[in-house]
Amino acid sequence: MSSIAVGEVEVVALTDVEGPFFRLDQLFPGVLLEEWKPYFARYPWAFADESTIRGRIGGYLVKTRDRNILVDTGIGPAAFGTPGRLLADLEDNGFQPADIDVVFLTHLHGDHLGWSVTEEGEPTFPRARYITQAVEREDSGSREGQALAPLKSLGAVDLLYGEEPISEEVIAIPTPGHSPGHTSLLVSSGGESVIIIGDVVVHPAQVTEPLWNIHFDEDKEQADGIIIAAGHVPGAGFGRVIREGGRRYWQALGENDARELRAGEEEARGSRKE
Ligand SMILES: [Zn+2]
């Protein structure tokens, strides 16, 4: 499932890079290996092995009736030695950079703004308004600031001050914590909703373990049941928060069921090699 319908809006998952990323103790220092154990069995598709996270750097295309909104632009041409494939993924879904009306940046970390500007310093998405939270821009360090500087001088950046609508169906909602101006997008149409949460959750285990590194504590009750789109979760990153035995868990929608089988196959292949 690389896209879902939300009333009249379509939300398409895009992937820049996916694979084994960080060691567990790099991304979540202070969490013991022992504490991860229950999650290996529950989310096998979210681990490369017992010490490494399988993650994704991705974004979403929100296709409303009158606007194509790209949420985050991946890690970009530098990626990890080879360029990410976000633009190719966009094209595979039938979109060219010139089709994008709005580039919404959940926050200004390097793995979310990579494809915003070309190597020549031109906007990659020539018609787009680039939108981010004002407080995020103020806070961003020199590297992130530089990445957006050409856009700013072209007058292509719009800054938000708190909660603001992006289109009729899409509202930007500040969700600070991961960074001061981190902002999620609530997409609502025809009585259905999806929330695109940026880095509020980078690994599904955090749904159960809210104190692990990144807060998922605010409005938690409201998060139950709603479809969530998380750009660092493997596959399409669509899921729901469910309750089981008094605890909350991530329930992947669609693709990760298939991925689970593939992860098993990889494992089988790996063990044959050994
Ligand atoms: Zn990130």
Predicted confidence at residue 83, as pLDDT, reads 86
Predicted confidence at residue 178, as pLDDT, reads 84
Local confidence band at 212 (pLDDT 50, 70, 90 cut-offs) = confident
What is the distance, to the nearest Å, from the Cα of residue 116 to the centroid of all Cα atoms in its chain? Answer: 15
- How far does the centroid of ligand 1 lie from the alpha carbon of residue 109, in Å? 6
How far is Cα 74 from Cα 252, in angstroms, rounded to an integer? 21
- How far does the centroid of ligand 1 lie from the alpha carbon of residue 231, in Å? 8
How confident is the model over 81-123, as pLDDT tens digits?
788 999 999 999 999 999 999 999 999 998 999 999 998 889 9
Is 216 a residue whose pLDDT tops 70?
A: no
How far is Cα 253 from Cα 234, in angstroms, rounded to an integer? 11
- How far does the centroid of ligand 1 lie from the alpha carbon of residue 274, in Å? 34
Q: In terms of pLDDT, which residue wins out, 187 or 22? A: 187
How many structural domains is the chain composed of?
1
- Amino acid, res. 226: I
SS3 state of residue 91: helix
Q: Are 227 and 255 in contact (CB under 8 A)?
A: no
- How far does the centroid of ligand 1 lie from the alpha carbon of residue 57, in Å? 7
How far is Cα 115 from Cα 172, in angstroms, rounded to an integer? 21
How far is Cα 272 from Cα 255, in angstroms, rounded to an integer? 26
Q: Are 158 and 130 in contact (CB under 8 A)?
A: yes
DSSP-derived letter for residue 97 is G
How far is Cα 187 from Cα 198, in angstroms, rounded to an integer? 14
How confident is the model over 13-46, as pLDDT tens digits?
999 999 998 899 888 888 999 999 999 999 999 9
Predicted confidence at residue 271, as pLDDT, reads 35
Q: Tokens at residue 45, please?
A: 């598709």
- How far does the centroid of ligand 1 lie from the alpha carbon of residue 41, in Å? 24
Q: What are phi and psi of 35, to 5 degrees?
A: -70, -20
Domain range for 269: 3-273
- How far does the centroid of ligand 1 lie from the alpha carbon of residue 53, in Å? 14
Is 235 a residue whose pLDDT tops 80?
A: yes
How far is Cα 229 from Cα 239, in angstroms, rounded to an integer? 7
What's the rounded mean pLDDT across residues 212-241? Answer: 74
- How far does the centroid of ligand 1 lie from the alpha carbon of residue 156, in Å? 23
CA-nearest of 74, 24, 65 to 237 is: 74
Q: What is the pTM of this model?
A: 0.88
Predicted confidence at residue 268, as pLDDT, reads 35
- How far does the centroid of ligand 1 lie from the alpha carbon of residue 14, in Å? 14
Local confidence band at 258 (pLDDT 50, 70, 90 cut-offs) = very low
- How far does the centroid of ligand 1 lie from the alpha carbon of residue 10, in Å? 23
Give the CATH number, domain containing residue 163: 3.60.15.10
Q: What do you get for the CA distance between the two ends of the chain, in Å?
A: 33
- How far does the centroid of ligand 1 lie from the alpha carbon of residue 190, in Å? 30
- How far does the centroid of ligand 1 lie from the alpha carbon of residue 269, in Å? 31
Q: How many residues does the chain have?
A: 274
- How far does the centroid of ligand 1 lie from the alpha carbon of residue 144, in Å? 13
Give me the chain's average pLDDT, please: 86
Predicted confidence at residue 197, as pLDDT, reads 94
DSSP-derived letter for residue 232 is T
Predicted confidence at residue 223, as pLDDT, reads 57
